[in-house]
């Protein structure tokens, strides 16, 4: 929250008319996601676009506080739940403004490198046979499948909301902190 508030203060200094609300969100926690959604909805703001971008990558096996493998919890379940909780707000915004809504799930080419049989729904929380790279891949595959299915459902309802999954390319971010091999691809002065 400190970094978010610092960014808010900087923006407001540069543009005093800007309205910026900072809300806490931990995508690894369903309670936090629900609290964030409730707090956002209570602000009665329009919602035209939702970019599901936060993520973690190549983490050693661990479970979230909800008992879900942490990469799947953070990279997929958190985004899935957040989208579902805010979808009515976005639908109402589309209806009130006539402006198309958009949901963007940041995915990854890593979806090609998930477990051999795809998403291991029956073994999401199984430490046996866990691979941090394949677990990351399955979380990204889940993002793509979610975007495809949500898009299909909204089109069937006739709702003017576009849903996409996007591979952003390879950019040096703290996301790579658990991967020495990927970190070595970037110069020290990143």
List residues with catalytic annotation.
Answer: 130
Query: Nearest-CA neighbor of 60 among 187, 143, 177, 181?
Result: 177
Tokens for 33? 């996601």
Total residues found in the chain within this entry: 190
Neighbours of 131 (CB within 10 A): 14
Which residues, 6 or more positions from 113, have their beta carbon under 8 angstroms from its beta carbon?
A: 133, 134, 137
User: What's 58's DSSP letter?
Assistant: S
């Amino acid at each position: 929250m400190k970094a978010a508030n610092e960014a808010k203060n900087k923006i407001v200094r540069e543009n005093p008319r800007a309205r910026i609300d900072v809300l806490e969100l931990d995508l690894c926690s369903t309670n936090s996601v629900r609290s964030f959604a409730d707090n956002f909805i209570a602000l009665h703001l329009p919602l035209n676009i939702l970019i599901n971008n936060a993520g973690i990558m190549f983490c050693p096996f661990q479970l979230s506080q909800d008992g879900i493998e942490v990469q799947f919890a953070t990279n997929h379940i958190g985004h899935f739940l957040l989208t579902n909780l805010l979808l009515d707000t976005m639908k109402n915004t589309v209806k009130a403004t006539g402006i198309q809504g958009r949901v963007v799930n940041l995915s990854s080419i890593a979806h090609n490198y998930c477990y051999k049989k795809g998403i291991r729904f029956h073994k999401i929380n199984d430490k046996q046979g866990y691979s941090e790279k394949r677990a990351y891949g399955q979380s990204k595959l889940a993002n793509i499948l979610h975007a495809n299915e949500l898009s299909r459902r909204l089109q069937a309802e006739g709702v003017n909301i576009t849903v996409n999954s996007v591979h952003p390319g390879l950019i040096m971010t703290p996301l790579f902190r658990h991967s020495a091999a990927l970190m070595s691809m970037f110069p020290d002065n990143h």
